[in-house]
Structure 1
Amino acid sequence: MYSMPMNRIASWLADNDFRIGRGTIGGLLSKATAVFSRLQECLRQAVLEDSYISGDETFHKVRVEEKNDKGLKIKKGYIWNLVAHHLRLAYFFYSRGSRSEKVFEEIIEGYNGTFQSDAMSIYRKLGDGKYDGINRIACLQHIKRRFIDIKEIPKAAEILRLFNLLYDREHRHRIGRDGWTVADNLRWREEYAPPILARIEEKLNAVKTDPHVPADSDLMGAVKYALNEWEWVPAIFSRGDYDLDNNLIERMQRLVSLLRRNSLFFGSHKGGETAAMYLSLVVSCRLNGVNVMEYISDILNRCASWSPTTPLEQYRNLLPDRWKRSETAD
């Protein structure tokens, strides 16, 4: 919850007169992970039922066995993350630290709806028609950042100004504020977005065909990235409830970033799987305004009392978007 490694958790507990060994903490977490395994699968299923999700991945170091003098090696392992925008649920997934397309296919299997992402090649295949039933939309921030990095270049500054204009217009209204609806937002987008998008595309193409801009320059790199993504930009404005970017999911990944700073590595691939499961529950609680400690203590007892063959549907009401504290909870 606070991105603390087990040794810091043990120290914090000791400072509060509760002494417990790091190994004992690890054992308890592992046992709870087994109890929550069906809940985690239910969470994945619920996320994939949302008509609008975002996806991304980030990394953490992991200790793995390898044939060398010490028998162990520290390597980079990847954690995948999905977020369901309407349900406000998050799903983290770790599979031996792999960033392969096969792992992504395992996560996304069965999904039908809109998927927002950056331009990683695996995600771009969603927009190329490889995955039936999935409509990909781009992330404006990933495009915009490349121009922020070179804003001292006049042509980049002008394109950046237009992207900022899109955000300025978008932020003039917010769904749910002063009666503003999704339908209102769509009408507003249909009014303000097309002329600004047309001007951006015009300037991007002007730079692309400018013989005075070196092909290997940072400006040309930013322009090519934007144009390669442009096919999936207008779709962002085709509905009133799509985000302009993937900032929501990137804010979630700050927990992993904090964990990277606070702990050297996962002790094993199993540790990565355990971290992914708890990240899923903690972030989903935060998205729904649920107290994490109350939630975990309540559902741990309830899940532990259920048979391993309990249908996934029964776990659905235990997910943070529907959870209600049991009357028997202390």
Structure 2
Amino acid sequence: MTQPQPADLQNLTPDQLREMVLQLRGTVAQRDASIQKLETHNDKLTHELAQLRRHRFGKRSEGMDKQQLALLDALVDEDIAAIEAELETLSPKATEQRERKRAKRQPLPKDLPRTDIYHEPENTSCSCGCALTRIGEDISEKLDYQPGTFSVERHIRGKWCCRDCDSLIQAPVAPHIIDKGIPTTNLLAQVLISKYADHLPLHRQEQQFARAGVVIPRSTLAGWVGRCGVELQPLIDALRDTLLKEAVLHADETPVLMLAPGKKRTHKAYVWAYASTRYSAIQGVVYDFQPGRAGQAARDFLADWRGKLVCDDYGGYKEGFANGITELGCWAHARRKFHDLHVANKSQIAEQALGYIKDLYRIERDLAELTPEERQQQRQKKSKPIIDQLHHWLIARRQQVPDGSGTARAIDYSLKRWEALVRYLDDGAVPIDNNWVENQFRPWALGRSNWLFAGSLRSGQRAANIMTLIQSAKINGLEPQAYLKGVIERLPTQKASKIAELLPHNWTVQSAVSG
């Protein structure tokens, strides 16, 4: 709001003065509300940090073996680092105090090979017209890693001085995702890929690095992971916003075990996955870690989205369907009911149903390379007659089998969801099943033993976020470590308004332009 000049106040009417006072009160109230919100968030983080530190440095649980403790302690250290990173943005003074208390880092081993990288000013002429003289340099070292081998990058920043006017010029310190940290972006990407793609816990990475000649405590590795998780969050938010612009999405969920600090028993948490279809121009998946399977998780993620959702028959999606989301059934789930029935007792009805569904999938394979419009036309021509025949056949067979039998249950699954199952016929951009997003859970299944101790909602979501980027990179044909390295390099200088340029589906074009 533009404030009037003091001289204008004498000419304001009482109504204008009253309006100005109300506007000022509103501005002050908004400011106070923002301050209160920040203070509340700061207090919450500080309390969470204190709890984590009590667990980390308190009495060890007798119910855990050494490996279990190593997994959980690493996750706690990651959470501590992540919270400290958030607090840095809320309280700069507290950051300065932590920097003063932080122990001076140890020099890197002298026997490691070193590469000198010079950073000099673009112009060595002073503004007064004199030539600058190089009078010294600052050297900082960063630890790099290629599988099995460590090396050191020596960043040398020359100091240039003008003898006449005493001005000093030096190339600025290159921005880094971890300010004053020793790891190169390549080493950070290596740690993330090892943990979240190769399923190698931090205590094993610590052992691996020690064999290569450098001791990096797992607490240090955990700090790097926690900080990276916070810094990468804007990319996850941007990818979620991008997917929610799609007209068709897949959704599914899978359980993982979670053990919060201070607890003795695990409980079942869930990872939800939301993905664009294989027919979409934008390819990506977003994982959302939640403490349970309540349908509120899907409602919160999808929010105001009102597209077409391919999913299974889980009731958690039903409220969304009642509020404008269109339900799309999964023929793979329908087929599975008959397949299980056939495996169990060689049912002839199940065998016939599988034959019908096999014909539908054969048609889909032939239509894979067509445009959505062409695919829709061919579905109406080739698939719809089979669908109609199957529907009549299922109704007739259902009347011949007793209620409660395995055959009745398999038939009922399809008939009750028939409207959702056949909607794919009317839209060529819609897939026949939900298999695409189910396949995106394979990385979680492969590393399930390492997700046993999600530790907290924070650590679970961090895993979900980093695996979102890794899996989306794979879907787009990118090498995940090279992609993460490039993202980590650019993130410190990337404008918030252009963060989408760093998303996997945009990376090929972006990297070509920059490379």
Shorter-chain-normalised TM-score: which range? 0.7 to 0.9
Match of 2:501 in 1: 317
Q: Aligned-pair distance for 1:63? A: 0.7
Moved more, 269-278 or 234-243: 234-243
Query: In structure 2, do the counterparts of structure 1 residues 173 and 13 end up closer, same or farther at CA, with 3 Å as the change threshold?
Result: farther
User: Gapped runs of 5+ residues in structure 2?
Assistant: 1-196
1:18-97 matches, cutoff 5 A: 18-65=214-261, 71-85=263-277, 86=280, 87-95=282-290, 97=291
CA distance in 2, matches of 1:237, 1:158: 22
The verdict on how the C-alpha distance between 1:258 and 1:8 changes in structure 2, with shifts beyond 3 A counting, is: farther
Q: 2:111 is matched with which residue?
A: none
- Any conservation in 1 of the 2:268–2:292 contact (CA below 8 Å)? no
SS in 2 for 1:322: helix
In 1, the alpha carbon distance for the partners of 2:450 and 2:297 equals 27
TM-score (norm 1): 0.87
User: Residues 33 and 188 from structure 1, CA distance in 2 versus in 1: closer, same or farther, beyond 3 angstroms?
Assistant: same
State the alpha-carbon separation in 2 of the partners of residues 191 and 326 from structure 1: 43
**Deviation of residue 84 (structure 1)?**
1.5
Q: Is 1:108–2:302 an aligned residue pair?
A: yes
How many angstroms does 1:300 deviate by?
1.5
Query: What pairs up with 1:156-235 in 2 under 5 angstroms?
Result: 156-175=350-369, 180-210=370-400, 213-235=401-423
Change (3 A) 1:15 1:219: farther
Per the TM alignment, residue 173 of structure 1 is displaced from its structure 2 partner at its CA by 3.4
Equivalent of 1:145 in 323, 336, 340: 336
- Deviations along 1:85-143, one digit per CA (max 9) or x if unpaired, are 22111111113x2211222111001213211111101224444xx222x2221111011
2:456 is matched with 268
Task: Name the count of aligned residue pairs.
Answer: 311
Which residue in 2 is equivalent to 1:285?
Answer: 473
Measured after TM superposition, the shift of residue 157 of structure 1 is 1.0
Change (3 A) 1:305 1:241: same
In structure 2, what is the Cα distance between the partners aligned to 1:286 and 1:189?
Answer: 30
Aligned-partner Cα distance in 2 for 1:261–1:131: 38
RMSD value, Cα: 2.1
Aligned equivalents of 1:14 and 1:142: distance in 2?
48
TM-aligned CA distance change 1:202 to 1:319, over 3 Å: same
2:404 & 2:245 partners in 1: Cα distance?
Answer: 43
* Aligned 8 A contact 2:356 2:386 in 1: yes
- One-letter code of the match for 1:325? S
Distance 1:230 1:17, change over 3 A: farther
Shift, 1:16, TM fit: 4.4
> What is the TM-score when the length of structure 2 is the normalising length?
0.57
Counterparts of 1:144 and 1:2, CA distance in 2 = 33
> 8 Å contact 1:65–1:73 — kept in the other structure?
no
Deviation at 1:272, TM superposition (A): 0.5
| Letter of the 1:92 counterpart | Y
Query: Secondary structure of the residue that 1:94 maps to in structure 2?
Result: strand
* Higher Cα Rg, which structure: 2
Displacement of 1:199 after TM fit? 1.7
Alignment counterpart, residue 483 of structure 2, candidates 280, 295, 306: 295
**Structure with the larger RCO, 1 or 2 (CA within 8 Å, 6+ apart):** 1
State the distance in 2 between where 1:203 and 1:13 align.
Answer: 63
Q: Given the alignment of the two structures, is residue 120 of structure 1 paired with residue 306 of structure 2, yes or no? A: no
> Residue by residue, what CA displacement relative to the aligned partner does 1:145-165 show, whole Å, maximum 9, x if unpaired?
010011211111111110111
